[in-house]
Chains A and B, each alone.
Chain A
Amino acid sequence: MSGTQWQLNPAGLRRPTPAAPGGSAVRGALDPRTGVVILLAASIAIMGPGGIRYVPAALAAGVLLALYERAWRRAIGLPAAAVAAAVVAYLLPRLAPWPVLGIVGVTAEFTLRLVAVGGIAAHLAQTVTPTRFTAALRSARVPSAFTVSGAVMLRFVPTILAEAKAVRDAMRLRGLGGLPAMLRRPVRSIEYFIVPLMASSLRSAEDLSASALLRGLGSQPRPTSIHPPKFGLPDVVALLGAMLLAGATVLTGGWG
């Protein structure tokens, strides 16, 4: 955290902000609402008819966000995954005139779209904590039925992933896991995996809901937040960048 002072400022965007009490604020991060708007715009553009031409723009946005966030692995991995999907989508069907390969190609093209949107989504997932996300949703006047249950869901997903890992390890230990076993007896494998996962998740769910209720989750008065969501310079830059990328796509016709 303290190491940021001397590091290079990519494009001068990242201004070190004073450490927040509790350290919960993310330095110079985008407002969650900006991220959601960019993500939805990318998703609607790419998943729409002829949306494949927006893929390079979305990829560029994803890489830029990854660089901004200093997630080097994603900055490299994202284009690599996109290239792999594009190779399968466009070069594999040319190997042999089998329509089956064509189906694989169409599916891979779909995967390519998902990768492009997923790059922006990964940025949100990495930078936005459930607390900030709910604060943003609240200030966007989303009904509390959705913010409360959504916050619980976001809070609980990592817990269940940890439980799932534990269950998988236990299955490995007993020689139950593995893809071949899964393919041989799919329903049996689902049972062996899901039942312990559910049982352990429900146990921790009891604790979580008790503590959440004690802390006043879902209580009538609107909760306030220590760091109210605010739009800042990074948001303006990000929105302008996204508009620039979309504009470039429209003007040049993209690829394909």
Chain B
Amino acid sequence: MTRAGASSELFRWLKRAALPAAIFAVIYAWPMLQILRSSLDRFDPITGVIPALAPDFYVKFLTDSFYLGVLWRTVKLSLIVTVVTAIASYPVAYFLVRNRGRLRLALIIILLIPLVTSPVVVAYGWLVLLGSKGLVNELLIALGITDEPIKLIYTAFTLVVGLVEVLAAFMVLSISASLQNVDWNLVLAARSLGASGWRSFRAVILPLSLPGIGTGCLLVFSLSMSAYAVPALIAGPQVKVMSELIYEQTMALLNWPFAGCMSIILLLSTTGVFSASTALARWWREREIRQAARAAEA
């Protein structure tokens, strides 16, 4: 391409992209940079924010067992939600690929309902179902499993249930997308070579759908780490997560530097867990390949 051609190409790109890019730079990128910058400010409860370049709040967060506990709880709960969602979604994704037409469309719409309904409404629905006078407790009492209502809401358990329900669509759709591209003749080949149904699933389909599981896990994990309305409404004050701490510091205590600092720590922990899991997955795959190579040699 000639130089003039390249520059007119850039000009045409700019004609389309300049407006959205400029708008997003002002209303999105600038605020995000501001957070990073302001997380280094100091804060006085009486006079308010004092401009500075001091890592005080990072030190405070990383040396206080309360804050570290909340961070650890957020990571732990998000990991549990991710694993549970992956396992629970797999059969649904499998079913989705197996079927076509109306049934499949209906299932996709049902999957999207909790996702697109306001999280506030979904959380509220769980309160109604799991409360002490809710359907689940009434059922348990009617069946004689328990004599009095079990405390189901305002626990970590409800939080996991609620998040799994809201986020399942991401997992199902990612796994389906990769199952969709599986060459089913490979399964036929495995079967004709004498592999059992379970074995051909484990040796052929499961490995081929791993990329989809990976994408789904990434999405579900980052969305659980950042969930706000669901934890605030159905997990209660005993099960506090990071996003609630950030909200509290901003709106109740007006300590914006500390809120900024916790925002950065939340972002870093999410990316940290990502990188760690990607590295682990790569190491695992290389180990498998080495083992297979060794087995082939022997």
Asked if chains A and B come from one complex, the reply is no
Binding site for A on B (CB under 8 A): none
